[in-house]
Amino acid sequence: MSEAILDILDKLKKYNAKIETRGSKLKIVSKKELPQPLLKRIKQIKSELIAKLPPQEPCYACGDYNWWLSIHNVWVCGTCHPPACKGLVKYAISKDLKCLDEVMH
């Protein structure tokens, strides 16, 4: 993970806040109001944060924890929506993630 991300996660911890990724969106969960400079920095590296932080929860549809990150920086459930081909996958949590073209051959 890049230093910028670690720094932000560290600061969030101090505020007892956390970041959750939902598809292509970032959600900041915090009871206290966070300082503007911190929020600004989070926005600046939003796509990087999404790419580095998989969703913390299992898929709401199937209950599996089988996320894969598409080249468009969106986390997708590999059980509900397997990637069409490996070329779309930037990163997969499960090493057994099957692409549709592999399943069909």
- Count of positions on this chain that bind Zn ion (CB under 5 A): 6
Under the binding rule (CB under 5 A), the answer on residue 83 touching Zn ion is no
Stretch 7-46: interaction string toward Zn ion, x if CB under 5 A: ----------------------------------------
Q: Rg for the chain (alpha carbons), in Å?
A: 15
Measure the CA–CA gap between 101 and 85, rounded to whole angstroms: 6
Q: Which is nearer to Zn ion, 39 or 80 (CB)?
A: 80
Those residues with Cβ within 8 angstroms of residue 101's Cβ, 6 or more apart along the chain or in another chain: 84, 85, 86
Q: Which of 39, 80, 84, 85 binds Zn ion (CB under 5 A)?
A: 80
Question: Coil, strand or helix: which one is 72?
Answer: coil
Residues that bind Zn ion (CB under 5 A): 59, 61-62, 77, 79-80
